[in-house]
Amino acid sequence: MNIESPRFGSLQIEPGKVIEFPHGLAGFENSRRFSLFHPEGEASPKYFILQSLDDAAVAFQITDPARLGFSYEIELNDEETQLLGFSDPAEIAVAVIVWRDGDHGHDGDANVAQAGTLRASLKAPLLINTRARRGLQHIFTKLDCTLPSA
Check: CB of residue 54 under 8 Å from CB of residue 33.
yes
Residue 148, in any domain of the structure: no
Tell me what pLDDT residue 50 has: 95
Q: Which residues contact 113 (CB under 8 A, 6 or more apart)?
A: 100, 101, 102, 103, 104
Residue 63, in any domain of the structure: yes
Q: Which residues contact 76 (CB under 8 A, 6 or more apart)?
A: 84, 127, 138
Pick the more confident residue, 137 or 149.
Answer: 137
Residue 142, in any domain of the structure: no
**How many residues in the chain?**
150
From CA 115, how far away is CA 134, in angstroms rounded? Answer: 35
Tell me what pLDDT residue 149 has: 58
Range of the domain at 24: 2-137
Check: CB of residue 113 under 8 Å from CB of residue 82.
no
Number of domains within the chain: 1
Residue 144, in any domain of the structure: no
Residue 147, in any domain of the structure: no
Residue 53, in any domain of the structure: yes
Residue 143, in any domain of the structure: no
In this structure, what CATH number is given to the domain that contains residue 66?
Answer: 2.30.290.10
Tell me what pLDDT residue 135 has: 97
pTM, to two decimals:
0.82
Residue 97, in any domain of the structure: yes
Instruction: Give pLDDT tens digits for 29-56.
Output: 999 999 998 877 667 888 999 999 999 9
